[in-house]
Amino acid sequence: MKHTLKYLKPYMGFFFVILLAKLTAAVLELMIPSALGDILDIAAPSGSVSLIVRYGLKMAIFALCTATLNMSSNITSSHFIHKAVERLRQDLFQKVSTLSSAQLDDVTEASAVTRLTSDTYNITQMLIGCMTMGIRTPILMVGGIIVALQEDVMLTLVLFLAVPMVTLVAIHGNRIAVPKFRARQAASDHMVRTVQENVTGIRVIKALSKTEHEKKRFDAVNADLAEKTMDASLVSSKKSNTNILILNLMQALMILVGALRVNAGLMTAGKIVAFMSYFTMITNAALNIANILMMVSNGTASAQRMAEIFEKPQDLQVQDIPQDENPCALEFRNVRFSYLGQADNLENLSFRLEKGQTLGIIGATGSGKTTLVNLLLRFYDVDEGAIFIHGQDIRSIEDGALREKFGVAMQSDFLVADTTQNNIDFYRHLPKENLLEAAKIAQAEEFIREKEGGMDYPLAIKGANLSGGQKQRLLIARAVASKPEILILDDSSSALDYRTDASLRRALSENLHDTTKIIVAQRVSSIANADLILVLEDGKVIGQGKHQDLLHSCEEYAHIARIQMEAVGEEVAHCG
């Protein structure tokens, strides 16, 4: 909470002025019912029109001043609060983007999104609620009771009966309503997730004839949302109706007691009218206090969730590690790593590559291929061992300098709804000839030329208007375009046919002499020419060497190679 309030600091001067305005407005508001009573008790019986008008004007001026002061301070405070929350959201976004992958795994992406949206909304509501009602309400409550006591002690006792009842009903109602609203929010999140999955997975769903199944799944979440929404509104409606009932009964009681006292000559009709106004003012204040308490409780919880992110220490700091004495372009030395600190996802991994060499990595899904890439990019830090680039431990290289060394095409990368050129450049402002050359190396030149507008051809979201192989080639072009020191292609040629894949490999070795290449592939043919091949299984290296050596030394590798050769043979035969 302290962290959140810090954002209001620059506006403290304004908030002080707003506080004064609110205070004045509340005092004026307190005087309106008395003025009303005076019109009835003093001005009306006097028979003097000018006196009635004078009293009427006095009341109107009070009302006008109150409204103007309240409105302008509400608008101003809401303006500053939105500004403060905007900065808070900006900083949160900044912080989320600097979280390490391990920290983000811990927070989860979905929760990061909620914190940026719903939680900042709750905080805004709390701050606005406190500014607009938090000052005015207690003044009206306490001041109202003091004035009411002076007007008539007997009627104030009726008031004392009503206020706790209304407050209790409101607080109790909120206590029941809050979990119901949370449940509604969860149901709504669930529905959004389901729709999202359906929209992104719509082709798979159709292809697998799962449409009916998905429809049922949606029906279920939709019905759940409707039920939870109804539940929540029922509680709200019960609460407000009970309160209306209490207020009406109390008002009736008050009029009854008041009428008896007028009858006995103990008070005037004007005082009853004034009293009714105080009654409304005070009971409304009681309801507002219950609402403020709810907003503060929600807002504090959200501020807490926000603070959890801000308090995360900066992970993956740059460390002071001396240069290694036996440098090469890239080295993994006895690397061990586990995502969750349980079973190892990579163990005892060691290899060395010279500048311009190619490393091929092959292994079943889940064997740790992408994990190796994640460690090299320092998305995670190794648990044991070290990774060196030209003898420099990657933990001792500045973030930006480290990232600049790489050109990467990951499995999870995607294209954006922009031109082909901007997708290859990816907003790095690379020279146009680099982009064209990259497209050529990535075997994308021909299909780009065939598209209307060529490099200006607009891609749909996630490149939906391209084939799988075309998308992969653009991602490879993007990775190659910066002429990186180290090129990483993580399973990024799987959708290419054998011939294009072979041309790609040739172009890479002809054009990127100095680039050290890491190629993760499912096909033996994609990595057969590599200077070094790693065969991974369950995070362990079960074979390491060149293609010819592995055919003899690694049974699994030989097995994969044999099966794939047969498949290629069949494919070629079919084509023939």
Residues near ligand ADP (CB under 6 A) are 105, 339-340, 345, 363, 365-371
| Centroid of chain to Cα 330 | 36
Of 134 and 363, which CB lies nearer to ligand ADP in the complex structure?
A: 363
Tokens linked to 86: 């905007």
CA atoms of 295 and 292, how far apart (whole Å): 5
DSSP H or E stretch at residue 533: strand 532-537
Pick out residues in 367-386 that bind Mg ion (CB under 5 A).
369-370
| Residue 412 contact among ligand ADP, Mg ion, none, beta carbon within 5 to 8 Å by kind | none
CA atoms of 277 and 262, how far apart (whole Å): 17
Which residues are within 8 A (CB) of 275 and not within 5 positions of it... i.e. 6 or more apart? Answer: 33, 37, 148, 151, 152, 155, 254, 258
Of 370 and 421, which CB lies nearer to Mg ion in the complex structure?
A: 370
Of 331 and 344, which CB lies nearer to ligand ADP in the complex structure?
A: 344
Of 277 and 345, which CB lies nearer to ligand ADP in the complex structure?
A: 345
The partner residues of 407 in beta bridges, in order of sequence, read 487
CA atoms of 2 and 568, how far apart (whole Å): 65
| Residue 453 contact among ligand ADP, Mg ion, none, beta carbon within 5 to 8 Å by kind | none
Closest approach of ligand ADP to the CB of residue 369, in Å:
3
Of 284 and 522, which CB lies nearer to ligand ADP in the complex structure?
A: 522
Closest approach of Mg ion to the CB of residue 412, in Å:
9
Give the Å distances, CA to CA, from 474 to 385, 414, 419, 516. Answer: 35, 10, 11, 20
Closest approach of ligand ADP to the CB of residue 363, in Å:
6
Give yes or no for residue 492 binding Mg ion (CB under 5 A): no
Tokens linked to 491: 């399973």
Closest approach of ligand ADP to the CB of residue 566, in Å:
24
| Total residues interacting with Mg ion, rule: CB under 5 A | 2
Closest approach of ligand ADP to the CB of residue 562, in Å:
21
Closest approach of ligand ADP to the CB of residue 374, in Å:
7
Of 158 and 361, which CB lies nearer to ligand ADP in the complex structure?
A: 361
What is the C-alpha radius of gyration for the chain, rounded to an integer number of angstroms?
A: 36
Closest approach of Mg ion to the CB of residue 410, in Å:
8
| Residue 340 contact among Mg ion, ligand ADP, none, beta carbon within 5 to 8 Å by kind | ligand ADP
DSSP assigned state of 40: I
| Residue 368 contact among Mg ion, ligand ADP, none, beta carbon within 5 to 8 Å by kind | ligand ADP
Closest approach of Mg ion to the CB of residue 83, in Å:
44
| Residue 105 contact among ligand ADP, Mg ion, none, beta carbon within 5 to 8 Å by kind | ligand ADP
Closest approach of ligand ADP to the CB of residue 81, in Å:
37
What are residue 140's phi and psi, to 5 degrees? -65, -40
Give yes or no for residue 122 binding Mg ion (CB under 5 A): no
Which residues are within 8 A (CB) of 523 and not within 5 positions of it... i.e. 6 or more apart? Answer: 494, 501, 564
Of 4 and 345, which CB lies nearer to ligand ADP in the complex structure?
A: 345
CA atoms of 394 and 413, how far apart (whole Å): 23
Of 371 and 493, which CB lies nearer to ligand ADP in the complex structure?
A: 371
| Residue 431 contact among ligand ADP, Mg ion, none, beta carbon within 5 to 8 Å by kind | none
The partner residues of 287 in beta bridges, in order of sequence, read none
Q: Which residue is listed with tokens 């997708």?
A: 423
The amino acid that residue 146 corresponds to is I
The H-assigned helical ranges of 208-268 are 211-263
Q: Which residue is listed with tokens 């989860």?
A: 108
Stretch in the footprint of Mg ion (CB under 5 A) among 233-241, 261-269, 364-372, 564-572? 364-372
Give the Å distances, CA to CA, from 171 to 133, 162, 288. Answer: 17, 14, 10
Tokens linked to 166: 């209304």
Of 228 and 369, which CB lies nearer to Mg ion in the complex structure?
A: 369
Stretch in the footprint of Mg ion (CB under 5 A) among 304-312, 363-371, 426-434, 505-513? 363-371
At CA 324, angle to CA 321 and CA 330, rounded to 5? Answer: 105
Closest approach of ligand ADP to the CB of residue 364, in Å:
7
Of 281 and 487, which CB lies nearer to ligand ADP in the complex structure?
A: 487
The total of other beta-carbon atoms located within 10 Å of residue 456's CB is: 12
Which residues are within 8 A (CB) of 503 and not within 5 positions of it... i.e. 6 or more apart? Answer: 443
Q: Which residue is listed with tokens 């959004």?
A: 192
Measured from each CB, the residue nearest to Mg ion is: 370
| Residue 14 contact among Mg ion, ligand ADP, none, beta carbon within 5 to 8 Å by kind | none
Of 43 and 349, which CB lies nearer to ligand ADP in the complex structure?
A: 349
Closest approach of ligand ADP to the CB of residue 344, in Å:
10
Classify 365 as helix, strand or coil.
coil
Residue ranges in contact with Mg ion by CB under 5 A: 369-370
